[in-house]
Amino acid sequence: MNAPHRAAAAAPLPFYQPLADECEVFEAAWRQQLPLLIKGPTGCGKTRFVAHMAARLGLPLFTVSCHDDLSAADLVGRHLIAAGDTQWCDGPLTRAVRAGGICYLDEVVEARKDTTVVLHPLTDDRRILPIERTGEQLAAPPGFMLVVSYNPGYQHVLKTLKPSTRQRFVALAFDFPPPAVELTVLREEGGADEALARRLVALATQLRRLGGYHLDEAVSTRLLVYAAKLIASGMAARTACRVALVEPLSDEPDTLAALMAVVDTQFGA
């Protein structure tokens, strides 16, 4: 494998604060032409990590947000009518293979199971993408990498990867960063000063420990950054926490009141 590509322009990398050896694991998987699965809660940095690594390796990034109606044609491509003629239009997976870049499928478990089967030839030693509609069989170049992610908290009988798909990937487990790292993220991404960053991280710790309210999701690092940005723009801290950290988590009045009571321990009534 060639050394990582470096972009000609000295553009800064998308900010990402490593937690352990995930950057080295990603690059090793890319060098060895192995597909990668990233699992972790919403807003913990999975997508930012992939964007950071694509820029770090100098590779084009093709991102697909998966959903229930995602079809194989949405990934591979389809014939479209243009100017009275039928033309083939590559999907993002095909474009990534042709370009030798990274194809990132975000929340892959949301896609239909019959759709993910199209990934199988790219995730073993064949590294090919058959395009039945055109008769092509694309061989993935050395730079191509397939990366998928999902949130294990959403898994149930109908929302999981088949074992035959899971075992085609090497995997990384993500979680919310520890307080020291989250402080750095809030300073760098949210424009928070040290004091505000510490109060927001303390608040997040309290909210994440709040039990008994059946929250589907914990407060994410992404939401903390939103709150920091709103406060840095001049919004009152309590209002910023309400709209960025509380309202996105629940619609239940009792739950919202309980969350705001926790906010008030840090930012006052």
Left if phi > 0, otherwise alpha if psi is -120 to 50, otherwise beta: which for 259? alpha
- pLDDT for 16 equals 94
Selection from 87, 86, 103 nearest residue 95 by Cα: 103
**Tokens 């994410």 appear where?**
220
105: β partners: 64, 148
How many Å apart are CA 225 and CA 196, to the nearest integer? 11
How many Å apart are CA 244 and CA 229, to the nearest integer? 10
Cβ burial of 9 (10 Å; 0-12, 13-18, 19+) is exposed
Banded pLDDT at 45 (limits 50, 70, 90): very high
- pLDDT for 1 equals 45
Number of Cβ within a 10 Å radius of residue 269 = 8
- pLDDT for 10 equals 54
How many Å apart are CA 117 and CA 101, to the nearest integer? 20
Instruction: Work out the average pLDDT over 161-172.
Output: 89
Banded pLDDT at 154 (limits 50, 70, 90): low
What mean pLDDT value characterizes the chain?
90
Banded pLDDT at 227 (limits 50, 70, 90): very high
**Tokens 């490593």 appear where?**
18
Banded pLDDT at 111 (limits 50, 70, 90): confident
Total-model pTM:
0.87
Better pLDDT: 82 or 259 = 259
- pLDDT higher than 60, residue 249: yes
Instruction: Work out the average pLDDT over 197-223.
Output: 87
What is the number of helices (H) and of strands (E) in the chain? Answer: 11, 9
Quote the tokens at residue 111: 């896609």
How many Å apart are CA 110 and CA 106, to the nearest integer? 9
- pLDDT for 11 equals 67
- pLDDT higher than 60, residue 72: yes
How many Å apart are CA 20 and CA 78, to the nearest integer? 41
Q: Which CATH number fits domain 22-173: 3.90.1150.10, 3.30.1330.20, 3.40.50.300, 3.90.1170.10?
A: 3.40.50.300
How many Å apart are CA 20 and CA 39, to the nearest integer? 15
- pLDDT higher than 70, residue 106: yes
- pLDDT for 84 equals 77
Domain ranges of the chain: 22-173, 179-267
- pLDDT for 114 equals 77
- pLDDT for 8 equals 43
- pLDDT for 155 equals 54
